[in-house]
Chain A
């Protein structure tokens, strides 16, 4: 089955700096890669996703890149703000998200004001 590795497990950045979180996956049939932000005591909230027919996607300060050949994808957050502090999870699935997601172990991002 699918295995998703995520690095780093913790990340501290100064406010205004960029943050990068990287994930790798094992199943070449996976075609859907969402990123979720989870705040304490809450469920995951989708922040951006990318499908295998696209190499990069951007939404304001957030961008995701996908390298299908290397089976890795990354989340980039620019101009970080204290409210970006949370745990971020990458995930992968087949069938464009209609099948269960396999999550990475998460990255705890702390943005220091």
Chain B
């Protein structure tokens, strides 16, 4: 079945560092991918919609200059957390809808980001 791969699974870095997270659709092409953030014991909240070949759409309250999204190909979207601070520590998860018919969204396994 359709698979979404996310990398890395865990990142620990110092405050001020920029961190890039990759989301790949392994056996289908994804013109759209979604990035969610999940704080401990909370639900998934949509951060932005990544669109292949065009600018991402950000949800209200999400800083586009801090969370840079690039969707340069039909199988890869990247989220870069720039100048990360401890409050950016969270679980970041991507998902991609399969564009053929009524298919469910498939989620990556998430990236746990810890900023010291």
A→B interface (CB under 8 Å): 34, 36, 41-46, 49, 51, 89, 96-98, 100-106
Question: What CA separation (Å) do A89 and B93 show in the bound complex?
Answer: 14
Asked whether, in the complex, the Cβ of B107 is within 8 Å of the Cβ of A44, the reply is yes
* 0/1 string, B1-32, CB within 8 A of A gives 1: 00000100000000000000000000000001
Question: What CA separation (Å) do A46 and B103 show in the bound complex?
Answer: 11
B→A interface (CB under 8 Å): 6, 32, 34, 42-46, 49, 93, 95, 97, 99, 102-110, 112
Q: Which residues of B contact A34 (CB under 8 A)?
A: 104-105
Classify the secondary structure of B's interface with A.
strand
Asked whether, in the complex, the Cβ of B97 is within 8 Å of the Cβ of A105, the reply is no
Asked whether, in the complex, the Cβ of B103 is within 8 Å of the Cβ of A97, the reply is yes
Question: What CA separation (Å) do A42 and B109 show in the bound complex?
Answer: 5
Q: Which residues of B contact A103 (CB under 8 A)?
A: 43-45
Q: Which of A49, A89, A104 contacts B104 (CB 8 A)?
A: A49
Q: Which of A36, A96, A102, A104 contacts B102 (CB 8 A)?
A: A96
Given contacts A34-B105, A97-B102, A97-B104, contact A44 B93 (CB under 8 A): yes
Q: Which residues of A contact B106 (CB under 8 A)?
A: 46
